Chain A
Amino acid sequence: MARDITKIILALYTAGMVFFIYAPIITMVLFSFNSSPRTVPPFDGPSLRWYEVLFGQKAILLEAFTRSIFLAILTMLIATPLFTIAGLAYRRRFKGDEFAFYLVTIGIIMPGITYSLGVLIFYNTLGIKTSLWTGLPVHLVWSVPWGLILMRAMIDPNIIYYEEAAKTLGASDWQTFRRVTLPLFMPAILGGALFAFTLSFTELIRSIFIVSPNTLPLQVLAEVTVWGVSPYIFAIGSLIVLISLALLLLSGFLLRGVFEKLQI
């Protein structure tokens, strides 16, 4: 009986947390369809007015959105081979393996603002002018460690024996890699790739000094600082939610293997 009560209390608590997480997102989407400029209740009836503003006079936000998508795809395409190849090294122990791992995780541990400042000084020193491209190495440094962590979590202690077995049975190096090694790492590779996209797409602090013209989070910050909050900000927010949900469904599907591996 006591157990049931605990379970009910915990279930209600968890439901409360889900509400806490979702409620603002839902109201933001709702108020993006408001027909008046109000950002607080009452809701004045549905309209697409703010989406027209977004696609019309505030197209600057959509341009920033396109830039963010471009940078995120680029980050994903380059980060994925980097952490995949590096992750393969961790199939065996080698001298300095932990040191190299910690060196890479500095990218996560370092406060974003310190790191962004460092890269600004680095670019200044080399005389490199900031552009969208100058954001790429920074987003790589931010996303590659997460991919590497996933790769290490996926390592099967027996993987080298599977590879030996494949070779003993006459498989070529490439066949062994393609048929044995790669499938075992696939969930981590896909998960890390999606992580890389998301981390790049949502990153604000690490872009602040070193990306121009603005990516979407930077542009939203600039808009709100100058103009305050208006429902068109909610409209672009709702578009982000839409894309995020699509990505989320995809990653939930792809990351299943990682959860299974962790025996959750």
Chain B
Amino acid sequence: MGEAAAPQRLVSSYLLLAPMLGVIIAFLIVPLIMVGIVSLYRPTGTGYVLELNLSSYVRFFTDPNIYGILLSTLANSAIVTVMAFILAYPVAYFLTMKIRTFRAKTILLIAMLIPFWIDFTTRALSWIPWLGIQGILNQVLTGLGILREPSPIFLFSPFAMLLVMIQGYTLFMIAPIFIVMSKIDPTLYEAAKALGASPLKTFYHINLKLTMPGIGVGTVFVFLSSVADFATPRLIGGLVTSIGQVIRDQVVFLNLPLASAISVILTLIALAIVMTVFKLMNIRQVFE
């Protein structure tokens, strides 16, 4: 542990990082910078010319079919995130506080995480037997007399899209909240009880406040996944168009500058949200 050894150790730390950072810089940072540059080129209809202008950004802010879709995608993603939080929190609470054995906790958590191992396209399509006009949901609802006749709104609709996203992304919320809640010192609950706090107060001051970093990580993952997801709206959302689909269409039309400009704006919004959540909820402790 001598002082003299320190510089050599530093070099070796950087050497260990080098292969990974090489891949990250070449295949992540450079392409992202290129998106920024191409967004400033002038589109020509079949490609672009190397001539700086802002026409793609002007198009974004003046075409309601583009900024409107971004706004609706953001709104849908917010709904998915809030619903995922509401669904996830009691489950994470139950797993942490009410299940005693380590083995049972692990099995239940892994059972919850199963959809993560199945690709999202398959998961979206697996809802079809449930949601169609002759689907299980309609049969149950008409059978119970809740609906007089089968409703077409469950499939190829905003409802279907939100349902599939909520189902798929809730587990991104369960896992981080569960991990953070598990790290809470159990003596805190005893202290709260001894000092006469009501169960509700204990829940608010200990569980909810101390799991903020977990909620933060969950929020970031659910929100970012929903914003970028163009496949679910496309497969099962009917007439819903997502901003991801708009970007994809522009690539098909060979208008890469416009696709890039939309991507830049989408990314800036995503980063702003991540930074805000990071600031609001001391997120770093999740990784420690």
Q: Residues on A close to B: CB < 8 A?
A: 2, 7, 10-11, 13-14, 17-18, 20-25, 27-28, 30-31, 39-41, 81-83, 85-86, 88-89, 92, 94-95, 97, 100, 103-104, 106-107, 109-115, 117-122, 125, 137-138, 140-141, 144, 148-149, 152-153, 164, 198, 201-205, 208-209, 216-217, 220-221, 224-225, 229, 233-234, 236-237, 240-241, 244-245, 247-248, 252, 256, 259-260, 262-264
Q: Are B27 and A85 in contact (CB under 8 A)?
A: no
Q: Which B residues lie within 8 Å of A122 (CB)? A: 27, 30-31, 34
Q: Are B32 and A120 interface neighbours, CB within 8 A? A: no
Q: Quick one: CB contact mask for B20-40 with A, threshold 8 Å, 1 for yes?
A: 110111111111101100100
Pick from A10, A114, A216, A229: contact of B128, CB under 8 Å: A229
- Among B7-15, B53-61, B204-212, the one that faces the other chain is B7-15
Known: A103-B21, A262-B182. 17 other contacts (CB 8 A): A11-B94, A24-B127, A88-B16, A94-B10, A94-B13, A113-B266, A117-B251, A117-B259, A117-B260, A122-B31, A141-B27, A141-B28, A198-B117, A205-B229, A221-B231, A244-B114, A262-B183
The reply to whether B102 and A264 form a contact with Cβ atoms under 8 Å apart is: yes
Task: For B183, list chain A residues within 8 Å (CB).
Answer: 262-263
A25 and B102 contacting across the interface, CB-CB below 8 Å: no
Distance A256 CA – B24 CA, assembled complex (angstroms): 29
Which residues of chain A are near B287, meaning CB under 8 Å? 149, 152-153
Does chain A have a CB within 8 A of B151?
no
Contact of B14 among A40, A94, A198, A233 (CB under 8 A): A94
Q: Is the CB of B29 within 8 A of A103?
A: yes
In the bound complex, residues from chain A placing their C-beta under 8 Å from that of B263 are 111, 113-114, 117-118
Which of A110, A121, A225 counts the most chain B CB atoms within 10 A? A121
Q: Which of A86, A205, A209 contacts B251 (CB 8 A)?
A: A209
CB A130 to nearest CB in B, in angstroms, measures 12
Instruction: Return the chain B residue nearest A264 by Cβ.
Output: B182
| Chain A residue contacts of B14, Cβ below 8 A | 89, 94
Interface majority SS (helix, strand, loop, mixed), chain B: helix
Q: Give the number of chain B interface residues (Cβ < 8 Å).
A: 94
B residues in contact with A259, CB < 8 Å: 102, 105-106, 109
The answer to whether B179 touches A14 (Cβ under 8 A) is no
The 7 A-B pairs with the shortest beta carbon distances in the complex, nearest first, are: A118-B31, A202-B119, A28-B126, A89-B16, A244-B117, A137-B27, A86-B20
Q: List 27 A-B contacts (CB under 8 A).
A: A17-B91, A24-B167, A27-B136, A40-B129, A85-B16, A94-B14, A97-B13, A110-B32, A113-B263, A115-B31, A121-B38, A121-B260, A149-B287, A204-B231, A209-B251, A217-B120, A220-B121, A224-B235, A229-B125, A234-B126, A237-B126, A241-B118, A244-B114, A259-B109, A262-B179, A264-B105, A264-B109
Tell me the complex Cα distance, A259–B259, Å: 42
Q: Are A164 and B179 in contact (CB under 8 A)?
A: no
| CB of A180 to closest CB in B, whole Å | 16
